[in-house]
Amino acid sequence: MIRAHRSTTIGEVPIGPDHPRSTAPWATVAGLTVLTVLGLALWLLVGSARGPQPPFLGEAGVAPIRRPARVDALVLAGSGSNLPVTRALTAAHAATGAAPPVVHASVGSGGGLRALIDGAVDIALVSRALSPADRGAGMVAVPYARAPVMLAVHSSVPERDLDREGLLAIFDGRRTAWADGTPIVVLQRERGDSSHAAVARVVAALADVDETAYIARRWRVIYDDVGMQDAIASTEGSIGLLGSGSLPDDLPIRTLTFEGVAPTVAALTDGSYPLYKDLAFVTLGEPDARATELLRFVFSAPGREIIEAHGCLPLGHRGAEAEDR
């Protein structure tokens, strides 16, 4: 007799309600596989994100840098704009019989102040105004010269004068060639440079123009005055800002007048040349005896002559205080 079954199979595939094959082992294998894949991925993700952690993370404030080995002499370091006239002053002072000080190469105004805090130098050479934080740290600025910020160009440049608009047109790239067709090569100083800051005080739009150029990496950036001199001298059609007050005679560099005024001591004296910055000695607290002796020479007549000889306007303490304010 043929019987009717409630469950049957076709080949190996159960088609009835009571099929014998269970999916539990396969589901378990699949679950373990998924967990393995996810675990492996997590392990790789966590492992790949590991790296050494810097020791300075989470620090508050600035720890002092280890002070360099001191020499038994007055040590000065700071802005490159200060260096030519300062070295001339210290050399003349030493010629009077004083102990010759050590004047380091340019470390910038900020580097000089940091070195002063660390005790690495006795006098910081600064070409910008002190910030309230600097003064809060006990720093005392003694301005001694006002240096013109010169629009320096390569000697091949046919132009003789620039006004504010012309200056902006060059630095923001709207003007790309001199009158004779020579391409204009703008040489820019780094962010926070005192010369650019001095010009931006007069030509306010230059600050934004500079920042735009920094972001766009539009111009070559030079980091000190000596480098700027070399770059201008070796680049035809170049233009840059120099704040040292004088130019070396042996380089193909000259200055442009700004709105018809040349960067001379006379123009600084009568105030007709607006692009300038004040050079100052900064000490931590009141100057010590050696620093006081140097300052006395700087503010002496020979010292003032030397300052003027370097194209700068000699300043007194009173002027410096006014500038700081």
Positions that interact with another protein (CB under 8 A): 1-2, 4-8, 10, 13-17, 19, 21, 23, 26-27, 29-31, 33-34, 37-38, 41, 44-45, 48-49, 51-57, 59-66, 68-69, 77, 104-108, 110-112, 114-115, 120, 190-191, 214, 217, 221, 223
What type of residue sits at position 117?
I
SS3 229: helix
Name the token pair of 93: 């002072």
Q: Which DSSP string corresponds to 261-280?
A: B---HHHHHHT----EEEEE
Tokens of 191: 């962010």
Provide the minimum distance between the beta carbon of 63 and another protein in the complex, in angstroms, as a whole number: 5
CB of residue 214 vs another protein: minimum separation in angstroms?
7
Measured from the CB atom, the residue of 23 and 249 that comes closer to another protein is 23
Kindly tell me which of 57 and 179 has the beta carbon lying closer to another protein. Answer: 57
Considering only CA atoms, which of 153, 225, 143 is closest in space to residue 189? 225
Q: At its nearest, how many Å lie between another protein and the CB of residue 190?
A: 6
Measured from the CB atom, the residue of 4 and 289 that comes closer to another protein is 4
Beta-strand relationship, 220-222 and 13-14: unpaired
Q: Compare residues 10 and 179 and give the one whose CB is closer to another protein.
A: 10
Q: How far is the CB of 220 from another protein (least distance, A)?
A: 9
The residue among 61 and 181 lying less far from another protein, judged by its C-beta, is 61
CB of 18 to another protein, least distance (A): 10
User: Which lies closer to another protein via its Cβ, residue 219 or residue 297?
Assistant: 219
**Cβ closer to another protein: 30 or 309?**
30
Mark out the alpha helices in the chain (DSSP H runs).
24-48, 83-95, 108-118, 132-136, 164-171, 194-202, 205-216, 225-233, 265-270, 289-298, 301-309, 317-324
Cα 109 from Cα 112, distance rounded (Å) = 5
Q: Give the gyration radius of the chain's Cα atoms.
A: 34
**Paired tokens of 70:** 């001191």
Rounded to whole angstroms, how far apart are CA atoms 202 and 274? 7
Cβ nearer to another protein, comparing 116 with 162: 116
Q: Is the dihedral of CA 254, 255, 260, 261 positive or negative?
A: negative
Q: How many CA atoms lie within 13 A of 96 on its CB side?
A: 15
- What's the closest the beta carbon of residue 79 comes to another protein, in angstroms? 11
Least Å distance between CB 246 and another protein?
A: 23
Taking the C-alpha atoms of residue 127 and residue 78, their distance in angstroms, rounded to an integer, is 8
CA gap 206, 173 in Å, rounded: 12
Give me the least distance between CB of 275 and another protein, in Å please. 22
Instruction: Please name the helix (run of DSSP H) or strand (run of DSSP E) that holds residue 282, with its range, or none.
Output: strand 276-284
Report helix, strand or coil for 32. helix
